[in-house]
Amino acid sequence: MIERTTERFGRLVFDRNAIVRAALRAYVEGYVARLPNCLSFPAADGAIWVGDLQRGALYNDDGCGAYEVIAWTEVGVVGLACALGFGPIEQLDLSLDAVTGGPDDVRAAVPGLPSELEPAFEMAVGMLEVGLEHGEKQAGVGFWLRGERIAGSMFDDPTLLGASRLAAWGLLHHGRLLPLSSSASAHPRPGGIVIDYARAQDAPLHAIIDAVTDRALKGPTEFMTDELATLLPKPPDPKKLLYAQQMLQKVGITWPGSPEIPPEPPTGANRLLPRP
């Protein structure tokens, strides 16, 4: 665990294991939230997960062109983010003749990246969007975490657009990634870039998400009957339920009595799926 304090974001705490758990929890929360009578304002709505808890990545967008990718290996974490229209050409001084469509497009976002984190960096880059006009990988800010060392353009220049999406991973709330507040893109008070939208009546749902996340950290698991009774007080739309089942199956979470869930689409096709 390492702490960093910035004037814009206040006190940030980054920890590899906490980030991986929060990524898994945010992914679970996002698909549980799509079921009837469940949560609103999830921190990750329709996120994309690749890999596993040792080596994996999470892509999380806001539906309006801004997104971040958090990637991890056993040794650390790399985060890259992009605000719509503010990629490496606009924010990292990438010249048009230097565009490769690969990792070097956004390497300036993670200055001093340790060689041990190159696999995490390449995973993160592999999930970035590509600029339509020039073909550059789209990220305008980043960070890396290795043991007790942390660095990145988000600390060198916290005013970079997209930095708030990464700072949210240093502002976890009881292990939970929180949604960005509406003022996050401006100049909020330190620590005020995220907001907890949870209502009192959401407490049982969050408790279930925490429980199934902690079980999934140890290996494949399934929702318990009483948990589903709380999550699904009435039968959901079959298509929405199947979609949630397919996505949660990616992280080893299934439904009791339903082990034969149809396989997920081919790798990379998740972005093309309509969001029920």
Tokens of 254: 């299934």
Contacts of 168 (CB under 8 A, 6+ apart): 43, 177, 178, 180, 193, 194
Please give the pLDDT value at position 41.
85
The residue extents of the domains of the chain are: 2-170, 200-263
d(CA 124, CA 243): 25
- Which uninterrupted H or E stretch holds 238? helix 238-249
CB 67 within 8 A of CB 59: yes
Please give the pLDDT value at position 201.
84
Please give the pLDDT value at position 235.
84
Please give the pLDDT value at position 251.
95
Nearest C-alpha neighbor of 165 from the set 154, 156, 174, 152: 154
Please give the pLDDT value at position 38.
78
CB 47 within 8 A of CB 60: yes
Please give the pLDDT value at position 250.
92
Would you say how long the chain is, in residues?
276
Please give the pLDDT value at position 238.
87
Q: What is the mean pLDDT of each run of 10 residues along the chain (276 residues)?
A: 88 96 97 82 91 97 93 98 94 94 96 97 96 94 96 94 96 93 56 80 92 96 92 86 90 79 52 40
